C-alpha cells in the first residue's frame, strides 16, 4: 500500500522510507508521518527500511521518533546516514519545563506587588538623588556646568518650536470652543479670563510637562539604560566617578531650570493663539485683550503654573533617570524601559497636578 512519496508500506508490513529526507522536505514528511501514523494503519509494521538519498539532522530526528514509535531499528541506512542517526540519538533530550512561566496565582501576586516595589524604588532613588544633591551643594565647584548646559540645550532650546506651536493651537482651540458659548450670552470679552485662566494655571504647565516627558524623559531613560547595559555605569564607578553626579544631577538641574521657562513660553504662545481667535471670532481686539489680562487675572495664577512646573521637572528627571538605572536584560529592554518611563512620568505629572489643585484650593491661592 503506497502511502505517499516518502513513506511506503508493503504487503508484508515493511515500512519503506524513500526520497530526500532533509529540512526542506521535512514539512511534507511530517504531514505524511502524522497522517498515517495512527495505530490502525501501522500497528503491525515489522521492519523499517530506509532507502533515502539524503538525511540531515532535522530529518534524522523525525526518523528517530518514527523508529521509537514502532520500537524498531531502521535498516538500509548508508554509513553516513547511520552516523547522523546515531549522532541525533545521542543528543536527544526533552525540552525542560520553563520555570519562568509562573502559575496564574503567582503572576497575580507578582503583578500586585509590582506597584509597591516601584514606589519603594522611587523612594530609594529619591534618597540617593537628594544625598548627591546635598553633596553637590556643599561642593559647588563640582557642579558640571557643561553637562547642565547640554541638558538645557537639548531639553529646552530644541523643544521651543514644538512647545510654542502646540500651546498656540491649544490656546486657539480653547478660545474657539469657549467663544462659541460666550457668544450666545453676548459675553465676548470674558474670553480673556477663560483663556488666560485655563492656560496659565492648568494647561500650559501640563502640556509642557507632557511634551518634555515624551521628548526628554524618554531620552534620559534610553541614554542611561543603554549605558547600563554596556556596563558603562559600572566602568564609571570603578573609575571613581559618581553616576549620580554625572548622569542624574545635571539632568535634574537642567530640567528644573528649563521647564519653568518653557512653561512661560507656553503661556505666551497660548495667549497669542487665544488672542487671534478672540479677534477673528469674537471681535475682541488685541489691545482690549492685553489690557484686560492684568486687570482681571491675578499674577498668582501665573505663579501657580510656574511653581507647578518646578515639581513636574523634578518628576520627569527623577523617573527618567531612575528607569534608566533599573533596566534589566538586553537591548530590547531599553525600549520597554523607555515606554515605562514615559507612561510613569506622565501619570505622576497628572497625579501631582491633581494634588496641587487640592493644595492650592486649600491655601486659597
Partner 1 sequence: MSSIIHIQGLSTKFQTDTVHENLHLRVKTGEILGIVGGSGTGKSVLLSQIALLRRPNAGEVYLFEQATANLSEKALLPIRQRIGVMFQQGALFSSYTVLENICVPLREHTKLSNNLIRELAMLKLKLAGLPDHAAHKMPNELSGGMLKRAAVARALALDPELLLLDEPSAGLDPVGAHALDELMISLNTTLKLTLVLVSHDLDSLWRVTHRVAFLGRKQVLQVADMQTLSQSDDELIQNYFSNPRAHAAQARQL
CA distances from 94 to 33, 67, 91, 98 (A): 20, 17, 10, 12
Interaction mask 176-215, partner 1, x per CB under 8 A: ----------------------------------------
Beta-bridge partner residues of 2: 8
CB of 51 to partner 1, least distance (A): 20
C-alpha cell read off for 281: 471670532
* CA 338/CA 221 separation, integer angstroms: 6
In the three-class reduction of DSSP (H, G, I as helix; E, B as strand; rest coil), residue 12 is classed as coil
* CA 73/CA 47 separation, integer angstroms: 8
Q: Does 232 bind partner 1 (CB under 8 A)?
A: no
Instruction: Choose which of 14, 18, 61, 268 interacts with partner 1 (CB under 8 A).
Output: 61
Evaluate whether 67 touches 36 at the Cβ level (below 8 Å). Answer: no
Q: Does 87 bind partner 1 (CB under 8 A)?
A: yes
CB of 69 to partner 1, least distance (A): 14
C-alpha cell read off for 223: 541614554
Instruction: Choose which of 27, 105, 112, 354 interacts with partner 1 (CB under 8 A).
Output: 27
* CA 76/CA 66 separation, integer angstroms: 15
Q: Does 37 bind partner 1 (CB under 8 A)?
A: no
Residue closer to partner 1 (CB basis): 61 or 360: 61
Instruction: Choose which of 330, 358, 361, 363 interacts with partner 1 (CB under 8 A).
Output: 330
In the three-class reduction of DSSP (H, G, I as helix; E, B as strand; rest coil), residue 144 is classed as coil
Instruction: Choose which of 91, 120, 142, 234 interacts with partner 1 (CB under 8 A).
Output: 91
The 10 Å Cβ neighbour count of residue 37 is 17
CB of 232 to partner 1, least distance (A): 15
Q: Does 58 bind partner 1 (CB under 8 A)?
A: yes
Query: How many residues touch partner 1 (CB under 8 A)?
Result: 32
Residue closer to partner 1 (CB basis): 25 or 307: 25
Q: Does 23 bind partner 1 (CB under 8 A)?
A: yes
Instruction: Choose which of 9, 20, 26, 133 interacts with partner 1 (CB under 8 A).
Output: 26
Residue closer to partner 1 (CB basis): 88 or 159: 88
Please identify, among the stretches 21-29, 124-132, 245-253, 278-286, the one whose residues bind partner 1 according to the rule CB under 8 A. Answer: 21-29
CB of 87 to partner 1, least distance (A): 5
C-alpha cell read off for 285: 481686539
Residue 18 has φ and ψ, to the nearest 5°, of: -145, 170
C-alpha cell read off for 364: 486659597
Closest CA to 322 of 124, 110, 130, 149: 124
Please identify, among the stretches 9-17, 22-30, 152-160, 210-218, the one whose residues bind partner 1 according to the rule CB under 8 A. Answer: 22-30
Give the strands of the sheet with 74-75, arranged side by side: 7-9, 14-21, 47-55, 74-75
Please identify, among the stretches 161-169, 220-228, 329-337, 348-356, the one whose residues bind partner 1 according to the rule CB under 8 A. Answer: 329-337
Interaction mask 92-121, partner 1, x per CB under 8 A: xxxxx-xxx---------------------
Instruction: Choose which of 45, 62, 72, 276 interacts with partner 1 (CB under 8 A).
Output: 62
Half-sphere exposure of 142 (CA within 13 A, CB side): 14
3-state secondary structure 276-317: HHHHHHHCCCHHHHHHHHHHHCCHHHHHHHHHHHHHHHHHHH
List residues near partner 1 by CB under 8 A.
Answer: 22-24, 26-27, 30, 34, 56-58, 61-62, 80, 83-84, 87-88, 91-96, 98-100, 229, 329-333
Amino acid at each position: 500500500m503506497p502511502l505517499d512519496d516518502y513513506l511506503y508500506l508493503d504487503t508484508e508490513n515493511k515500512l519503506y522510507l524513500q526520497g530526500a529526507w532533509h529540512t526542506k522536505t521535512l514539512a511534507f514528511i511530517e504531514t505524511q508521518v502524522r497522517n498515517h501514523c495512527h495505530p490502525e494503519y501501522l500497528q503491525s509494521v515489522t521492519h523499517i527500511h530506509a532507502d533515502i538519498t539524503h538525511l540531515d539532522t532535522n530529518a534524522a530526528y523525525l526518523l528517530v521518533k518514527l523508529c521509537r514509535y514502532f520500537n524498531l531499528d531502521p535498516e538500509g541506512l548508508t554509513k553516513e546516514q547511520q552516523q547522523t542517526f546515531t549522532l541525533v540519538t545521542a543528543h536527544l533530550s526533552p525540552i525542560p519545563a520553563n520555570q519562568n512561566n509562573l502559575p496564574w496565582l503567582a503572576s497575580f501576586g507578582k503583578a500586585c506587588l509590582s506597584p509597591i516595589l516601584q514606589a519603594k524604588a522611587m523612594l530609594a532613588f529619591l534618597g540617593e538623588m537628594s544625598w548627591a544633591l546635598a553633596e553637590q551643594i556643599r561642593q559647588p565647584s563640582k557642579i558640571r556646568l557643561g553637562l547642565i548646559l547640554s541638558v538645557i540645550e537639548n531639553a529646552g532650546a530644541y523643544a521651543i518650536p514644538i512647545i510654542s506651536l502646540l500651546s498656540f493651537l491649544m490656546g486657539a482651540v480653547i478660545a474657539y470652543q469657549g467663544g462659541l458659548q460666550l457668544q450666545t450670552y453676548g459675553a465676548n470679552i470674558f474670553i480673556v479670563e477663560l483663556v488666560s485662566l485655563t492656560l496659565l494655571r492648568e494647561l500650559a504647565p501640563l502640556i509642557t510637562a507632557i511634551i518634555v516627558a515624551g521628548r526628554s524623559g524618554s531620552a534620559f531613560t534610553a541614554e542611561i539604560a543603554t549605558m547600563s547595559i554596556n556596563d558603562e555605569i559600572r566602568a564609571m564607578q570603578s573609575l571613581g566617578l559618581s553616576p549620580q553626579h554625572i548622569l542624574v544631577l545635571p539632568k535634574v538641574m537642567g530640567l528644573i531650570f528649563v521647564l519653568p521657562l518653557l512653561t512661560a513660553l507656553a503661556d505666551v504662545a497660548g495667549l497669542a493663539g487665544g488672542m487671534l481667535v478672540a479677534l477673528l471670532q469674537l471681535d475682541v481686539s488685541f489691545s482690549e485683550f492685553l489690557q484686560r489680562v492684568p486687570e482681571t487675572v491675578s499674577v498668582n495664577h501665573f505663579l501657580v503654573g510656574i511653581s507647578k512646573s518646578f515639581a513636574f521637572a523634578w518628576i520627569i528627571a527623577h523617573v527618567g533617570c531612575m528607569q534608566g538605572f533599573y533596566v534589566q536584560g538586553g537591548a530590547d529592554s531599553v525600549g520597554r524601559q523607555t515606554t515605562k518611563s514615559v507612561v510613569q512620568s506622565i501619570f505622576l505629572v497628572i497625579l501631582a497636578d491633581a494634588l496641587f489643585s487640592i493644595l492650592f484650593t486649600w491655601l486659597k491661592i
